[in-house]
Amino acid sequence: MAGPYETHEYDVIVIGAGGAGLRAAVEASAQGVKTALICKSLLGKAHTVMAEGGIAAAMGNIYPEDNWKVHFRDTMRGGKLLNNWRMAQIHAQEAPARVLELEEWGALFDRTPDGRILQRDFGGHRYARLAHVGDRTGLEMIRTLQQHAVHKGIDVYMECTIARLLKDGDRVAGAFGYWRESGRFVAFTAKAVVLATGGIGKAWKITSNSWEYTGDGIAMALDAGADLIDMEMVQFHPTGMVWPPSVRGILVTEGVRGDGGTLKNSEGKRFMFNYIPEFFKAETAETEKEADAWYEDKKNRRTPDLLPRDEVARAINAEVKAGRGTPHGGVFLDIASRRSADYIQKRLPSMYHQFKELAGVDITKEPMEVGPTCHYVMGGVRVDADTTATTVPGLFAAGEVAAGLHGANRLGGNSLSDLLVFGRRAGLYAAEYAKKFTGAVKAGVDQLASVEHELLTPFNHHGGENPYSIHMDLQECMQNLVGIIRTESDLKKALGEIARLKQRLTRASVEGHRQYNPGWHLAMDLHALLEVAETCTLSAIERKESRGGHTRDDYPKADPSFGKINLVTRKKNGALSITPEPLPEMPGELKQLIEEQK
């Protein structure tokens, strides 16, 4: 029963309604083009809502010394210089204006005594730089954008999952998906498409990410012919909950450490002092006394508890392996003995609740147990730094789905600012592209019959594979074989396993009918998830060094020659290829910024 399908025509469609998608849609519609916003969940439930700590922007409200150059430098160094320098520059320069703009739309950040936006400390940022609202910054941001978008009258398609991009020759011409509620298919034609679908964390077992993070956008872009880069770069956040099992992986914000919490092993020692890498020696405190002095005056060298996330995650991993972990296989994060109960409740209300209600732990009295959790993918769709255009004409990407800004490791708070800065640019340039586009939009609807058939196959199998089991097996595989510490043999094993899972997916079967059927939705999402898992593993095999989010036990050192390349993933005639390509050359004056000011 192919077609005719419910069809909608737009100038620009934005797929994904997190911070990046919303900001893009707001901008596109402000440019006067007909815009639609499409998302898998209800409006306002995207991942962005979960972000806790804050938005990084060098406004200099606390430290006037702060400016875009320092922010740029921190971002580059945090990313182990694998970043796209131009993106890092634009990001650092535009973030403050984007934050102030949120205020103009009704957001209320915590204030300084003189009435400006209060900024907090986070790992890898030289100065207190994160605009925040307690520990629910993402909520403030998404609500503000959501309400602004609604008032601008942008059409929103909620609980509508896009399964494939539509093409007209080389260029993108729309998208095809289904209403989750009814299971009916729907097609969108558009002159330009913005991808803002977020990450891939649901491929791992211990993860802070939700069911939405199945890498749909990355897989769709790849299928549509776009380049991906840095797919091996996955961030494991050092502090996720570890106990009880049902909450394993839920995030514990870095704000806990920014506000005074420290990491301790089972012997009660602040072990981070043993894990300060050469690269950050000059700017990191060496003794507990020096580290504590930093909390009082940020001109002192900072505590190693707030080294970039990759460093801290590896350190925790090593402590646990060495037998100095907590009973449940984590380490202790202690703020109770260092800050008053009042202070903790005021600064970290939702952490307080989270532990109280889910783990029965009172963080004002006891230490938390924490361990690494899969959190963010630095890799993704390759984009042009200024316009966010992908390598496919008409296709733009912003937010976590796009790659380049964060290099090998993302600093906390740099994602929310990324969403605002590049979300806006995506909307702007997509609108511009749509305005310039004059031809007829022909989204070859003939492509759809086969897609429909493919999507519906799970209903035709009976007693086949359970999609939930396939998903669990994939998570197990990625957790064990493509986790924080990787080796070539593990990675190869993972490839074999992924291939078997792909086979199993072709035999997946679901029960019931098409109306709001999560089993069926998962079966469709698994297509993307297996594809991104595979690209991640393939890239990880190729990067024979350790850098940022990618650590190889068999190549434990950073290799300068790998520091000059991105690994590019392409798909041609169904086959994936990984190609090393040189990073864009950074201008001398920016290079200098990174070297000096140590």
Ligand X SMILES: Cc1cc2nc3c(=O)[nH]c(=O)nc-3n(C[C@H](O)[C@H](O)[C@H](O)COP(=O)(O)OP(=O)(O)OC[C@H]3O[C@@H](n4cnc5c(N)ncnc54)[C@H](O)[C@@H]3O)c2cc1C
Would you say 53 or 304 has its CB closer to ligand X?
Answer: 53
Six token digits for residue 456: 């519906």
303 interacts with ligand X by CB under 6 A: no
User: CA-based angle 548:217:408, to the nearest 5?
Assistant: 10
* Secondary structure class of 236 (helix, strand, coil): strand
Nearest distance from residue 40's CB to ligand X, in Å?
3
78 interacts with ligand X by CB under 6 A: no
Site string for ligand X, 378-417 (x = CB under 6 A): ---------------------xxx----------xxxxx-
Nearest distance from residue 469's CB to other proteins, in Å?
8
Phi, psi at residue 460, to the nearest 5°? Answer: -85, -20
What's the CA gap between 126 and 71, in Å, rounded? 8
Q: Which residues contact 245 (CB under 8 A, 6 or more apart)?
A: none
Six token digits for residue 500: 């078997």
Q: Which residues contact 469 (CB under 8 A, 6 or more apart)?
A: none
> Considering only residues 30, 86, 150, 559, which one is a binding residue for other proteins as defined by CB under 8 A?
150
> Considering only residues 8, 16, 406, 562, which one is a binding residue for ligand X as defined by CB under 6 A?
16
> Considering only residues 519, 542, 564, 591, which one is a binding residue for other proteins as defined by CB under 8 A?
519
> Considering only residues 29, 31, 161, 239, which one is a binding residue for ligand X as defined by CB under 6 A?
161
Going by their DSSP bridges, the two strands 35-38 and 155-157 should be labelled as parallel
The amino acid at 25: A
471 interacts with ligand X by CB under 6 A: no
Name the active-site residue from 23, 171, 237, 375.
237
Catalytic residue check, 257: yes
Nearest distance from residue 464's CB to other proteins, in Å?
11
Would you say 240 or 367 has its CB closer to ligand X?
Answer: 240
Which residues are bridge partners to 161 per DSSP? Answer: 178
Would you say 276 or 474 has its CB closer to other proteins?
Answer: 474
Q: For 429-446, b where at least 16 C-beta lie within 10 A, e where not — what string?
A: bbbbbbeebeeebebebe
* Secondary structure class of 322 (helix, strand, coil): coil
115 interacts with other proteins by CB under 8 A: yes
211 interacts with other proteins by CB under 8 A: yes
How long a stretch of residues is the chain?
A: 598
What's the CA gap between 357 and 199, in Å, rounded? 28
Q: What is the DSSP letter of 386?
A: T
246 binds, among ligand X, other proteins, none (CB under 5 to 8 A by kind): other proteins
Catalytic residue check, 237: yes
149 interacts with ligand X by CB under 6 A: no
What's the CA gap between 294 and 307, in Å, rounded? 13
What's the CA gap between 369 and 385, in Å, rounded? 39
Q: Which residues contact 227 (CB under 8 A, 6 or more apart)?
A: 381, 382, 390, 391, 568, 569, 570
110 interacts with other proteins by CB under 8 A: yes
User: Which strand (E) or helix (H) includes residue 577?
Assistant: strand 575-582
Phi, psi at residue 585, to the nearest 5°? Answer: -75, 130
251 interacts with other proteins by CB under 8 A: yes
Among the residue ranges 190-198, 226-234, 378-386, 533-541, the one whose residues contact ligand X (CB under 6 A) = 190-198
Would you say 159 or 432 has its CB closer to ligand X?
Answer: 159
133 binds, among other proteins, ligand X, none (CB under 5 to 8 A by kind): other proteins
Q: Of the candidates 174, 149, 160, which has an alpha carbon nearest to the alpha carbon of residue 21?
A: 149
Applying CB under 8 A, which residues contact other proteins? 41-47, 49-50, 100, 103-106, 108, 110-111, 113-116, 133-134, 136, 139-140, 143, 147-148, 150-151, 158, 181, 210-212, 243-247, 250-251, 350, 353-354, 357-359, 466-469, 472, 510-513, 515-520
Applying CB under 6 A, which residues contact ligand X? 15-21, 38-41, 46-48, 50-54, 137-138, 161-162, 177, 196-198, 208-209, 212, 216-217, 251, 376, 399-401, 412-416, 419
The catalytic residues are: 237, 257
